[in-house]
Amino acid sequence: MKIDLETLRHFFRKAPFMVDLGAQPTAVSDGKVSTELDIQPKHLQHTGVVHAGVLASLADHSMGAAAQTLAPEGHWVVTAEFKVNLLRGARGDKLVCEAWVLKPGKSVMFTEAEVYAVSGADERQLVVKTSGTMAVTKA
User: To the nearest 5 percent, what fractions of the chain are helix, strand and coil?
Assistant: 25, 45, 30
Predicted local distance difference test score (pLDDT) of residue 41: 97
Q: What is the fold, at CATH topology level, of the domain defined by 5-138?
A: Thiol Ester Dehydrase; Chain A (3.10.129)
Query: Alpha-carbon distance 139 to 41, whole Å?
Result: 37
Predicted local distance difference test score (pLDDT) of residue 120: 85
Predicted local distance difference test score (pLDDT) of residue 2: 81
In this structure, the number of other CB atoms found within 10 A of the CB of residue 46 comes to: 6
Predicted local distance difference test score (pLDDT) of residue 85: 98
Beta bridge partners of 37: 95
pLDDT in tens, the chain (139 residues): 689 999 999 999 999 999 999 999 999 999 999 999 999 999 999 999 999 999 999 999 999 999 999 999 999 999 999 999 999 999 999 999 999 999 999 999 999 999 999 998 778 999 999 999 999 999 8
Q: Where are the domains of the chain?
A: 5-138
Query: Alpha-carbon distance 38 to 24, whole Å?
Result: 9
